Amino acid sequence: MVSASLLIMSVAGATYTVLLNSSHVKSSLGYDQTTLTLLSFFKDVGSNVGLLSGLIHKVTRPWVVLLIGAAMNFSGNFMIWLAVTGKLAKPSVWQMCLYICVGATSHSFFNNGALVTCVENFPEGRGIVLDLLKGFVEIGSAILTQLYHAIYGDNSKSLILLIAWLPAALPFIFLWTIRNMKTVPQTNEVMVFYNLRYISVDLAGFLMFRIIVQNRTSFSRIEYGASFGVVLVLLFTPLLFVMQEQLKAWKANKQVLDGSSSQYVNSQVPEGIENPPPPAAVEPEGSNRPAGDLKSSKKTDSCRNNAFLPQDQGEDYTILQALFSIHMIILFVATTCGVGGTLTAIDNLGQIGLALGYPASTATTFISLMSIWKYLGRVVSGFTSETFLSKYKFPRPLMFSLMLLLSCFGHLLIAFGVPNSLYVASVIIGFSFGAQWQLLFAIISEIFDLKYHFTLYYFGALASLVGMYILNVKVAGRLYDQEALKQMEAKGLKRLNGEELTCTGVECYKKAFIVITAATLFGCVVSLVLVLIHRKFREQADPAAAEAGQALQVQTVTGQMG
């Protein structure tokens, strides 16, 4: 089941790449940049709104969720391919928005069908399982571009067709493999997951090496095929590990049945202890508390009445308490300005390359670079934030602020069009985006605790969508079109109905990314306020309780990150 989940998640993020090579969509359908950014916004809406898939997952089996996701992925993206290739009458803008939203929504169904089910089956190691599966999502775009070149060569329109059929086919193959199971934790379970992560790092490293070589030499279809053959070997290597562990588990079960040994069972009683101590009982609400304890009185009130009452950081907030807290307001503003700007850069990367004079074939290179460095940003920030927090008391909100500041350098490289700097910009933006996303939801769980973490997760995603709509549709798209019209007027041309708007030169995105840089800096400053609040809380907290709770946080906070 783990091996199948890795393969499904490696193509689950394919919808992110539909518009990265957006020149064919513009030229085929005659869109201006504002319309293209509107399509990009609906793509992100579909990718980040997962409430429907979550509800279906609660009342049905995983195979139903995967089946719905496969159907949505194929129907939405196949309609886009038909429209772009002219096999379908030119659809209205609202129809294209619907197609791309439906196709992108499949991502949340794959998440709930495969990723959530896998986490439920391994509750003891949910943190490493989440990081592992999400890591394969991030490098999925780079894997798909390798396969696309091996199958279709340089026919970039076929990338949309590949995105339509491959992510829909894999869930069908493993439909009955992904299921909820009652498992017994193994002694070496975590080590197996770490070995699988090392394989994912090797895969990312090979893809990075492949991109560097590709930029220096031209590859034939056979060479692309050989390169993807190596990728396939690395993709299926986890299957060897899980088969080995399955064999060990089978032998262990046989020995247990024979009464000879239970050495592989993690739940065996340590030597010298006849009866393990019972788990600590949960203290009833209001017990052993002062009569005037505010927290005790809050929980006896209705959710509506205590929505505006203060709550201790790190305690279980209700949803309304979290939404109306100063912490969430700061996070919402910082995410809107910071992550929204990074999303804008990611969604316009292919078009930026064309405007700055990069060959059209480099669009897939930027996709791969962004994909790999998003993965590295997620892995490095998760490990680093845990290490810095436990050893140096370095707060996560401060690291989040630093990642927002880092993304500003990528935005400025795009704004001023430094020659050959788009490769560096894609690395910086990809890394900072992966780190921002990881840290954002770590901060949410650290501040508001874990009771309503996945609900609050979607409010964090909503903030990024708001920022992306403002900065992408209203700023980047409109300023691009204005500059394109200026260039047409300077040439004495007038735009005909249905004619695409094409802009070339540094000025196409200069103003937009200066605005995005300013917005990101503002988000960085706002997030520093949360750093001060976080530090004040830690100073006021009981040192003994903080030390005891810190060890628990290292296990639980990372364990909920996606």
CA separation for the pair 344, 273 (Å, rounded) = 58
pTM of the model: 0.75
Nearest to 498 by CA among 91, 112, 152, 195: 91
Nearest to 104 by CA among 40, 20, 34, 26: 40
At 27, list the tokens: 């030229």
Model confidence band, residue 64 (pLDDT cutoffs 50, 70, 90): very high
Is residue 167 within 8 A of residue 106, CB to CB? The reply is yes
Model confidence band, residue 449 (pLDDT cutoffs 50, 70, 90): low
Is residue 364 within 8 A of residue 378, CB to CB? The reply is no
HSE-up of 96 (CA within 13 Å, CB side)?
26
- pLDDT tens by residue, 452-484: 666 676 777 788 889 989 999 899 999 999 998
Least confident residue range of 354-368, 412-426, 478-492: 354-368
Model confidence band, residue 524 (pLDDT cutoffs 50, 70, 90): very high
With a cut of 70, say whether residue 520 has pLDDT above it.
Answer: yes
Secondary structure (3-state) at 186 = strand
CA separation for the pair 85, 249 (Å, rounded) = 51
Task: Give Cα 99 distance to the centre of its chain.
Answer: 21
Is residue 49 within 8 A of residue 105, CB to CB? The reply is yes
Question: Would residue 358 be called left, alpha or beta, if left means φ above 0 and alpha means ψ between -120 and 50 degrees?
Answer: beta
CA separation for the pair 403, 56 (Å, rounded) = 35
Q: According to the model, what pLDDT value does residue 287 have?
A: 37
* Cα three-residue angle 248-252-254, rounded to 5 degrees: 120
Range 2-31 average pLDDT: 78
Q: What share of the chain is helix, strand, coil (3-state, %, to 5)?
A: 75, 0, 25
Question: According to DSSP H, which parts of 217-325 are helical?
Answer: 221-258, 294-300, 319-323
- φ and ψ of 265, to 5 deg: -90, 125
Q: According to the model, what pLDDT value does residue 452 have?
A: 61
Return the higher-pLDDT residue of 26 and 424: 424
Q: According to the model, what pLDDT value does residue 275 have?
A: 46
* Cα three-residue angle 363-369-372, rounded to 5 degrees: 140
Q: According to the model, what pLDDT value does residue 337 have?
A: 92
- pLDDT tens by residue, 269-328: 444 444 444 444 333 333 344 434 434 444 444 444 444 444 555 456 677 777 778 888
Give the total residue count for the chain.
562
With a cut of 90, say whether residue 75 has pLDDT above it.
Answer: yes
- Other beta carbons less than 10 A from residue 308's beta carbon: 10
Is residue 330 within 8 A of residue 463, CB to CB? The reply is no
Q: According to the model, what pLDDT value does residue 451 have?
A: 61
Q: What is the dihedral of CA 357, 359, 360, 365, to 10 degrees?
A: -110
CA separation for the pair 467, 336 (Å, rounded) = 4
DSSP state of 278: P
CA separation for the pair 196, 438 (Å, rounded) = 20
Q: According to the model, what pLDDT value does residue 279 have?
A: 43
CA distances from 67 to 84, 172, 187, 513 (A): 26, 7, 34, 40
- φ and ψ of 186, to 5 deg: -100, 155
Is residue 486 within 8 A of residue 46, CB to CB? The reply is no
Range 116-143 average pLDDT: 80
CA separation for the pair 151, 162 (Å, rounded) = 9
Q: What is the dihedral of CA 470, 475, 481, 485, to 10 degrees?
A: 140
- Other beta carbons less than 10 A from residue 396's beta carbon: 23
Model confidence band, residue 497 (pLDDT cutoffs 50, 70, 90): low
CA separation for the pair 39, 35 (Å, rounded) = 6
Which residue type is seen at 75?
S
At 249, list the tokens: 């588990």
Full set of structural domains in the chain with CATH: 1-260 (1.20.1250), 313-562 (1.20.1250.20)
Range 138-155 average pLDDT: 81
CA separation for the pair 164, 350 (Å, rounded) = 20
Is residue 167 within 8 A of residue 11, CB to CB? The reply is yes
Q: Using only the alpha carbons of the chain, give its radius of gyration.
A: 25
Q: According to the model, what pLDDT value does residue 254 have?
A: 78
Range 68-93 average pLDDT: 90
With a cut of 90, say whether residue 223 has pLDDT above it.
Answer: no
